[in-house]
Structure 1
Amino acid sequence: MKRILGLTSIRSDYDLMSVVYRALHEDPDVELRLLVSGAHLSPQFGRTIDLIMADGLPLLGDVETLINGDTQSSRLKTAANLLSGSIDLIRAYAPDMMIFAGDREDVLVAATIGAFLNIPTVHFFGGDHTTDGHVDNPVRHATSKLVTAHFVSIDEHRHRLMHLGEPEHRISVIGSVALDKFVSEPLLNKAAVLQEMKGKPHAATNPLAVLIFHPLDQERAVAPDYARNAVDALIARGYHVMVGAPNSDPGNSELFNTLLKLGQREQVTFYGNTSRACFVNLMRHAALMIGNSSAGILEAASVRLPVINIGERQRSRTCGKNVIFCGGDKKEIEAALDTVGTAEFQASLSALVNPYGDGRSALKAVALLKSLDLASTIKKTEDPLHAS
Structure 2
Amino acid sequence: MSNKKIAVFTGTRAEYGLLYWILKGISASKYADLQLLVGGMHLSSEFGYTVNQIEKDGFDITDKLEFLLSSDSPVGISKSLGLAIMSAAEAFERNKPDVVVILGDRFEALAIAQAAMIAAIPIAHIHGGELTEALIDDSVRHAITKMSYLHFTATETYRKRVIQLGEQPLNVFNVGAPGIDNINKLPLMELNELANSLQIQLSHPFFLVTYHPVTLLADKADEELKSLLNALDKFPQYQVIFTYPNADTYGRNLIEILKTYQQKNPKRTFLLESMGQLRYLSAMKLASLVLGNSSSGIIEAPSCKVATVNIGDRQKGRLSADSVIDCIADESSIYQAIQYTLSEKIQNKLAHVVNPYGNGQASEKIVKKLIECELMKPTQKVFYDVS
Residue 234 of structure 2 is matched in structure 1 by 236
Deviation track 1:113-169 (CA, whole Å, cap 9, x = no partner) reads: 22222212100001111222x111011101111111101111111111111111201
Q: 2:117 aligns with which of 115, 129, 138?
A: 115
Residue 275 of structure 1 is matched in structure 2 by 276
Check conservation: 1:235, 1:267, Cα contact below 8 A.
no
**Is 2:252 the partner of 1:253?**
yes
Letter in 1 for 2:47: F
**Is 2:58 the partner of 1:56?**
yes
Letter in 2 for 1:229: S
Letter in 2 for 1:194: A
Greater shift after overlay, 289-298 or 68-77?
68-77
Letter in 2 for 1:110: I
Check conservation: 1:286, 1:305, Cα contact below 8 A.
yes
Q: TM-score, normalised by structure 2?
A: 0.95
SS where residue 70 of structure 2 aligns?
Answer: coil
SS where residue 51 of structure 1 aligns?
Answer: helix
Q: 1:16 aligns with which of 3, 7, 18?
A: 18
Check conservation: 1:126, 1:141, Cα contact below 8 A.
yes
CA–CA distance in structure 2, aligned partners of residues 30 and 263 of structure 1: 46
CA–CA distance in structure 2, aligned partners of residues 219 and 308 of structure 1: 19
Residue 135 of structure 1 is matched in structure 2 by 136
Residue 291 of structure 2 is matched in structure 1 by 290
Letter in 2 for 1:158: R
Check conservation: 1:98, 1:120, Cα contact below 8 A.
yes
Q: What pairs with 1:2-151 in structure 2 (closer than 5 Å)?
A: 2-132=4-134, 134-151=135-152
Go from structure 1 to structure 2 and tell me whether the alpha carbon gap of 1:175 and 1:213 turns closer, same or farther (over 3 Å shift). same
Residue 305 of structure 2 is matched in structure 1 by 304
Letter in 1 for 2:177: S
Check conservation: 2:92, 2:116, Cα contact below 8 A.
no
CA–CA distance in structure 1, aligned partners of residues 103 and 191 of structure 2: 31
Q: What pairs with 1:142-161 in structure 2 (closer than 5 Å)?
A: 142-161=143-162
Go from structure 1 to structure 2 and tell me whether the alpha carbon gap of 1:109 and 1:70 turns closer, same or farther (over 3 Å shift). closer
Following superposition, the deviation at residue 249 of structure 1 comes to 0.4
Check conservation: 1:152, 1:158, Cα contact below 8 A.
yes
Go from structure 1 to structure 2 and tell me whether the alpha carbon gap of 1:142 and 1:248 turns closer, same or farther (over 3 Å shift). same
Check conservation: 2:86, 2:115, Cα contact below 8 A.
no
Deviation track 1:7-47 (CA, whole Å, cap 9, x = no partner) reads: 11111221221111112112222211211111111111111
Q: TM-score, normalised by structure 1?
A: 0.94
Following superposition, the deviation at residue 330 of structure 1 comes to 1.4
Q: What pairs with 1:194-213 in structure 2 (closer than 5 Å)?
A: 194-200=195-201, 203-204=202-203, 206-213=204-211
CA–CA distance in structure 2, aligned partners of residues 232 and 239 of structure 1: 14
Q: Aligned-pair RMSD on alpha carbons?
A: 1.5
CA–CA distance in structure 2, aligned partners of residues 183 and 5 of structure 1: 25
Unaligned 5+ runs, structure 1: none
CA–CA distance in structure 2, aligned partners of residues 198 and 290 of structure 1: 22
SS where residue 293 of structure 1 aligns?
Answer: coil
SS where residue 263 of structure 1 aligns?
Answer: helix
Check conservation: 2:305, 2:353, Cα contact below 8 A.
yes
SS where residue 194 of structure 1 aligns?
Answer: helix
Check conservation: 2:145, 2:162, Cα contact below 8 A.
yes
CA–CA distance in structure 2, aligned partners of residues 198 and 219 of structure 1: 35
Check conservation: 1:289, 1:308, Cα contact below 8 A.
yes
Following superposition, the deviation at residue 337 of structure 1 comes to 1.2
CA–CA distance in structure 1, aligned partners of residues 143 and 380 of structure 2: 14
SS where residue 32 of structure 1 aligns?
Answer: strand
CA–CA distance in structure 2, aligned partners of residues 42 and 63 of structure 1: 11
Deviation track 1:40-69 (CA, whole Å, cap 9, x = no partner) reads: 111111111111111111111102100121
Check conservation: 1:208, 1:241, Cα contact below 8 A.
yes
CA–CA distance in structure 2, aligned partners of residues 212 and 170 of structure 1: 34
Letter in 2 for 1:111: A
Deviation track 1:95-125 (CA, whole Å, cap 9, x = no partner) reads: 1111010001222222222222221210000
Check conservation: 2:18, 2:178, Cα contact below 8 A.
yes
Go from structure 1 to structure 2 and tell me whether the alpha carbon gap of 1:227 and 1:56 turns closer, same or farther (over 3 Å shift). same
CA–CA distance in structure 1, aligned partners of residues 336 and 277 of structure 2: 32
Go from structure 1 to structure 2 and tell me whether the alpha carbon gap of 1:171 and 1:347 turns closer, same or farther (over 3 Å shift). same
SS where residue 81 of structure 1 aligns?
Answer: helix
Following superposition, the deviation at residue 229 of structure 1 comes to 3.2
Unaligned 5+ runs, structure 2: none
Check conservation: 1:36, 1:49, Cα contact below 8 A.
yes
